[in-house]
Amino acid sequence: MNPSPQQLEYTRNVLLTLLAANNTRFGLQAPAIVLFARSSHSLILTADEAAEHMEYLAEKGLVIEATKQIVRAARAWRISPDGLTYLDEHGL
């Protein structure tokens, strides 16, 4: 079943808030994103799904890939200044 646009927006907003709470220059890898999304928001994702959402958000300029892509599993992301602005504008 494909998620609705509202479900996609909710998921991506959750992921942005997780990255905003992680105030490091190293960002979060997909497995950590999955863990935090599940524990803090009961959001169930796989690491591959989290990476796909991060890629989408990166295309929109809301997140930045924090590490050079060596292998897909080692990728990490952090929120961009535009991502913080987006959260502020949407009251998140």
Strand, coil or helix: 25: coil
pTM for the complete prediction?
A: 0.88
CA–CA gap between residue 6 and residue 52 (Å, rounded): 17
Q: Where exactly are the structural domains of the chain?
A: 5-85
CA–CA gap between residue 29 and residue 50 (Å, rounded): 9
What stretch of H or E contains 49?
helix 47-59
Per-residue model confidence (pLDDT) at position 72: 60
Q: Is the pLDDT of residue 73 over 80?
A: no
What number does CATH give the domain 5-85? 1.10.10.10
pLDDT digits (tens, 9 = 90+) for 10-63: 999 999 999 999 978 889 999 999 999 999 889 899 999 999 999 999 999 999
Give the confidence band of 64 by pLDDT, cuts at 50, 70, 90: very high
